[in-house]
Each structure stands twice: as structure tokens, then as C-alpha cells.
Structure 1
Amino acid sequence: MIWRSLLLGLFLVCPVVASAQFSLFQGAPHSLAPLVKQVAPSVVGITVTEASGNAAGKTAPVRGGKSTPPLTEAAGSGFIISADGMIVTNDHVIAGASEITVTLDNGEKFTAKLVGADDLTDIAVIRIHPSHPLKPAHWADSSKVQTGDWVLAAGNPFALGNSFTLGIVSAEGRDIGEGPFNHFLQLDAPINPGNSGGPAFNMEGGVIGINSAIVSPSGGSVGIGFAIPSNSAAPIVDQLMAHGMVARGWLGVSVADPTDGAPGALITGLEAGGPADRAGLVQSDIIVTVNGESISGADGLTRAIASMPPGRRVVLGIKRDAHIFHLPVTVGRRPAQIGE
């Protein structure tokens, strides 16, 4: 009788546990097929051909008495942002490309041209010229994303073609040391080599991020991926589409974090004739504020200055010989490929 009572108790308890488990996941759709069908036409695969140089000490066969460097191919992803063929991807996907090929979800292939790229945010825009309107993706508001929200990652892993994986937003505001401007969304949706540049969708089909990096000892997905938030990416994309570049402020200084762990950015070098040099800053000065806002470190200074348009006048709080004073500086235009 005791055994029968225990067994009956188990059968009575099990439905309650199952019900509790179901309630935890009732926010997830019964099937992702409708969402995938909705967003798939905006996802593209990208194949890049580039000269690999002579790193291995080999060259391609000699033709006409001249040796040419061998060509290598790399795969990435992207998503359509306008019906006339503008496509968003990562800068590292197309950097150094001699030819860019875009494959649509329906298998159509097009040669793409670079519209503009921003290496500091790792965002690029390329363009194809289709004979028919394309279906663009639309941005969602990443400020509304919460840790634990469902996310659908899309892309072209290992050049296999469009693929979709489901996960959640594991964390927000991750700093992974990949440039000074991005505080990434961390995702556990599987992201692999080739997914770079692809979109991360919310459950309404809006793009909340651009899949850009993974942490992996094996090179494959271990459930830790990172996406550039849409609210950071969208303004960069707009500037690249409009101007082909992002005009960034520049002080003409090399900086590091202070060695004693204090806040601010330590000047380790100055560009002769640059904005900081002309204003009277010297090596070993520590910039502690920009327009009254505290600077936490070298990356904080870079973000603050680079987000300003060239020509803007700012007031820097400078710590020199244990004294703090304020100095006006006119921000210059950041030269290509040169950091703060």
C-alpha cells in the first residue's frame, strides 16, 4: 500500500512539473518556420576573393613571365537593407577583397561593390544591382532588448548557405576588446565561421544586431557569440550609405590607461601639428574629462572624441603635475586607419 501511494504521488506530481516547465517557455513560438520564411529573403551569403600574398613562400604558376599571387576565398554573411540592393556586413568580411560575390536566399548571384566601410566599428555596406526589388530587413530598437530575450541568428556558416539558429541574449554591453565603440550583445544562438555580418533577429523579425565575433577554443560555436547592437550599427550604416565613410573626430594623440589605475587617458605621444599639439598638450598629460564628462580610460577618450564631428570645439580637463586645468581644443578629422 505504501508503494502504491508513492507511485500515485509521482503521477500526481509529474503533470504539475510539466506545466511549470511549459509556462517557462510559453513566450517562444510553437514553430520558427513563419519567422524564418519572413526574414530569409533579406539574408545573403557573401564570398570574397582576395590575393593571399606570398606568406607561405609560394606563388601561382608563372604566366607571361610574371608571377601572380594566389587567390583565396573567404565566406561571410550580410543582410539587405534597401530594396535597390544595399547590403550590410562586417568590415572584416570584405576587407582586402578583390571581388565580392553575393548570393541571395533564392540562389541568385551578383557581383557587389563596396559603398563604404568603418574599421573602428567593423561595419561595411556593399551594393548589388538586381533586376527586381529586394526584400530589406528592418532595424529593431536594441535598447529594448533584455537578457533572456529570444534571438534568431542567420547567416552563411562554413559557406553552406543560409542557416538559422535559435538562442537567447545571454548578456548586454559586453566589451570584448574588438575596438573602442562597440558594447556587444552576447548570444548563445550558435554562430560559426561564416556567420560574420549576418543579422540577429528578434521574434518580430527586426534586426537587433550584426553577428560579428565568437569566443571558441575550437574555432566552432561553443555558445558564446557577439553581435553589434542595432542602435550602434544603424547610424553608421546611414553614414556609409550617404557618404561612403564616417567622419570622426581626432586629437592626434596616442593614449594608454594610467599605470596607477587612476581614471583618465594618459598621453603617450602626439602627432606633430595635430589638434592636441597645437592646443599645447604634452606627453604625460592625463585627459580626465571631455566637456565635463569623466573619462574612464584610453578607450573612453577614443569613443568620446571619435563620436564628435570634426571642427567641434571641446574643453578637455587635463591633469599635469598633480594639478588639473581646462584647455579648449578644436577637434580635427581622423585620418584613415589611424587610431587616437
Structure 2
Amino acid sequence: MPPISPPESPALPRRLALLLPLAALPGCAGPARAQRGLPDFADLAESVLPAVVSIQVTSREENEPRRSPVDRRRGGGSHLVQGAGSGFVIEPSGIIVTNGHVVGNATRVVVTTQDGTEYPARVMGVDDLTDLALVKITPRGTLNAVSLGASSSMRVGQWVLAAGNPFGLGGSVTAGIVSARGRDIGAGPFDDFIQTDAPINPGNSGGPLFNMAGEVIGINTAIYSPSGASAGIGFAVPSDLAKPVIEALIRGGRVERGWLGVSVADAEEQGRGRRGAVIMGVERNSPAARAGLRQGDLVTALNGEAVATSRALVRGVAVLPPGETVRLTLLRGGRQQEIAVQIGRRPNEG
């Protein structure tokens, strides 16, 4: 049964792509000193870099079958490919945050810390919907770690620092500002990216985006680029979205999300003349079907909180624990009513 989702999102634009895994990152926590004029990032960089790591990945990639009869008989086969990305230590015991697309298909993962020490790593869990993953190493001692800050407190125009290993050149930091918040780039139902002009390139995948206090407020994930290099438009998963995912992966290696079993669209786009989420379809035997939701219902509130868009409904339901009963306020045939729905578990979660 397909999960609750807004209408089909367009594919990522050709020049908008996940950061290709390439190389490393280094990071930790500490305030940056603001000088007159532009800030000095030296103290901040020195304090955060020890917690940022490089992640080398070996994965198996399927070959495309050749057109000759001989190659077809052999089949497509597969071969090993090498890649790399970045990550940061979230717990001193050796738990590291990175992108799901960096390690999701890995057969071997090696983490290199800022001092050059290499550790074999295992993937603890991957959440495809937010492109986040955790890997675990067994360090020889206590690692430097960084903490997550509140991305909701970031304002457009505030300074940020990105750390990573762009193009395999080695540990690097770049500075910029928050260019925008809440960006939807068509990657999935939980798009809520921070956009930054801090130069981010292939190899920064999974690396941290810091505020001036040395807190991670984003995980660098995608760039918009005509050339494959930084064009001054990078996207990071906000820490407020990442935090519950990371906590869930630490607890059990998977994320459980609430699910209704409907497809939805924005009411304004459907010409309803008001805001809300229009039910476009209801899955058989889903929580929504059992509660009596119908195609054409206009959902305007979830547990009394206004629902302005289909994406707001998807996110509002997703954060609820499966089994919880919620109250949906909706319009049906021009009349308002409330329906109680017991939230289900979103299918195909890891």
C-alpha cells in the first residue's frame, strides 16, 4: 500500500542533484568571535573540525547488459565502485551522522578522523525520506562530538560555516549565509531544506553546516549546479527535521512514521478557494478508509491545528506515533465535520 503523499512531485531538475559522494569532512563545537566588519571564523573552524570525518565507501554497482549476444549471455553482472563523503560525530562513543546516499548501498565503510586514524564502520540505519544515515565505529578513545542546534532559530542572512572534503582535496571549511529556508526541491514529501551560499561541492555530502556557536543546524545534501561544482546554491537538511530521525535511528535503526493511506493535493491548486489538503484518493483497508475518509474531502485541521497545504498534512501525520488516534477537521459537501482516525504505520520504512 503506497504511503500518504502529495500529488506526484516533479523529478529533481537536471542541474539539481544530490551531492555526489566524494570525500571527507571534519567538525566539533565552539563559538566564533565576531569582529568589526566580517566575522573571523578561525576559532570556530578550529573547534569544530576535530568532530568531522571522512567516509570512504565501497559499493557494488550493477552493470548494464551489453548489446552483443555474448554480453547478453553473461548478463549485466556487477562491479565494485569507490566513493566518499563526509560526516560528523554526534556521540563521543563513535556514532556518526552522514547522508543516506553516501552509505546506503555500501558493502564496506571506512571512517577517517581528523587526525588520520582509520576505523571500519557499520551502518546503523538509513532513512531514505530524509536522506540521513548513521554509522558506528569503535574508537580507541573518546571522540570529539558536536551537537545539533535549533535550525528554526536561523534567519535569512545569518552566517554559517560548512566543513568538508570537496573534490577530495582534504579537510576544508567554507563560509556563507543562510540564503533561504523551507526550500522544496522536489526530492520528497519532507523537503524543508536550508539554502546557503556557502560553497558546497561533491565530497561535502553528509557534512555539517554550523551556526556561529558551533552547533550543527544542517546536514549538507544537495547542490544546484550547471557544472557539478558550487554555484552558490546548496541545500542542507535542517537540524530540527534531522534530530528525531537521528534519535530514532540510534534507538532502533529505523524510523517509524504515522500514515493515513491517502493521496492529497493543495486545495488552492484544486480551485477550492481556501487553504487545506484535498483527499484525492483513499487506499483500501488503510486507516483513512477505516475511518470513512472520502475522495474530495477537504482537510483543514489536524487535532485543532490548521492544515494549510497537503505537505503540512503529510508532515503532521508523519511525526505522530502509529496507533495514536487523531481528530481531522474537514469539509464535505460544504459542511464541516470532524472524524477520528487511528494513525497507522507508514509502509516500507527501512
Whichever structure has more helix as a proportion of its residues is 1
Which residue, 302, 305, 315 being the options, matches 1:293? Answer: 305
Q: Is residue 198 of structure 1 aligned with residue 213 of structure 2? A: no
User: 1:169 Cα deviation (Å)?
Assistant: 1.7
Aligned match for 2:59, one of 29, 36, 50? 50
| Letter of the structure 2 residue corresponding to residue 264 of structure 1 | G
CA–CA distance in structure 2, aligned partners of residues 297 and 55 of structure 1 = 41
Whole-angstrom distance in 2 between the partners of 1:281 and 1:203:
47
Change (3 A) 1:144 1:318: closer
- Residue 122 of structure 2, aligned match among 104, 113, 118: 113
| 1:155 CA displacement | 1.4
How far does residue 288 in structure 1 lie from its aligned partner after superposition? 2.6
Q: 1:255 aligns with which of 237, 255, 264?
A: 264
Instruction: Give the count of matched residue pairs.
Output: 311
Question: What CA distance in whole angstroms lies between the structure 1 residues aligned with 2:227 and 2:332?
Answer: 47
Runs of 4+ in 1 over 4 A off after TM superposition: 65-68
Question: Do 2:63 and 2:77's aligned partners in 1 also have CA atoms closer than 8 Å?
Answer: no
Which residue pairs with 1:278 in the alignment? 290
Structure 1 residue ranges without an equivalent (≥5): 1-23
Residue 174 of structure 1: CA displacement? Answer: 2.6
Describe the SS at the equivalent of 2:62.
Answer: coil
Distance in 2 of aligned mates of 1:143 and 1:253: 29
Contact 1:76 1:159 in 2 (8 A): no
Q: Which is further off, 39-48 or 267-276?
A: 267-276
Give distance in 2, aligned partners of 1:52 and 1:183: 30
Change (3 A) 1:103 1:281: same
Distance 1:243 1:204, change over 3 A: same
Alignment of 1:1-340 (within 5 A): 26=36, 28-30=38-40, 32-55=41-64, 57=66, 68-258=77-267, 259-262=269-272, 263-337=275-349
TM-aligned CA distance change 1:294 to 1:197, over 3 Å: same
- Give 1:337 deviation, angstroms: 4.6
TM-score normalised according to structure 1 size: 0.83
Report the CA distance shift for 1:66/1:184 in structure 2 as closer, same or farther (over 3 A).
closer
Indicate the residue corresponding to 1:19 in structure 2. none
C-alpha distance in 1 between matches for 2:349 and 2:257:
11
Aligned AA for 2:213?
E
Letter in 1 for 2:208: P
More off after superposition, 322-331 vs 67-76:
67-76
Q: CA deviation at 1:27?
A: 5.5
- Give the letter aligned to residue 221 of structure 1: S
Match of 2:28 in 1: none
Instruction: Identify if the C-alpha distance between structure 1 residues 325 and 66 changes in structure 2 by more than 3 Å, giving closer, same or farther.
Output: closer
Preserved CA contact (<8 Å) 1:48 1:97: yes
Q: Which has the higher contact order (CA 8 A, sep 6+)?
A: 2
CA distance, structure 1, for counterparts of residue 150 and residue 310 of structure 2: 28
Query: Contact 1:77–1:155 at 8 Å: present in 2 too?
Result: yes
Q: Residues 13-39 of structure 1: CA distance to partner in whole angstroms, max 9, x if unpaired?
A: xxxxxxxxxxx9725444x33322221
Find the residue that maps to 1:26 and give its secondary structure: coil
Residues of 1 paired with 2:116 and 2:167: CA distance? 16
The CA distance in 2 between the partners of 1:257 and 1:149, in whole Å, is: 31
CA distance in 1, matches of 2:291, 2:297: 13
- CA–CA distance in 2 between the matches of 1:217 and 1:261? 36
Aligned-partner SS, 1:98: strand
Distance change >3 Å, CA 79–CA 321, structure 1 → 2:
same
Q: Which moved more, 1:78-87 or 1:237-246?
A: 237-246
The separation in 2 between residues aligned to 1:27 and 1:43, in whole angstroms, is 28
Tell me if the contact between 1:182 and 1:232 (Cα under 8 Å) persists in the aligned partners.
no
Question: Contact (CA 8 Å) 2:65, 2:76: kept in 1 or not?
Answer: no
User: How has the CA–CA distance of structure 1 residues 186 and 169 changed in structure 2, closer, same or farther, with 3 Å as cutoff?
Assistant: same
| Equivalent position amino acid for 1:249 in 2 | G
The TM-score, its normalising length taken from structure 2, stands at 0.80
Q: Which amino acid aligns with 2:270?
A: D
Unaligned runs of 5+ in 2: 1-33
Q: CA deviation at 1:86?
A: 0.1
Using the alignment, how far apart are the partners of 1:29 and 1:109 within structure 2?
34
| C-alpha displacement of 1:250 | 0.6
Alpha-carbon RMSD across the aligned residues, in angstroms, is 2.6
Q: 1:66 Cα deviation (Å)?
A: 9.6
Query: Is the 1:45–1:161 Cα contact (8 Å) retained in structure 2?
Result: no
Deviates more, 1:69-78 or 1:266-275: 266-275
Query: Which whole-Å CA distance do the structure 1 matches of 2:157 and 2:143 have between them?
Result: 32
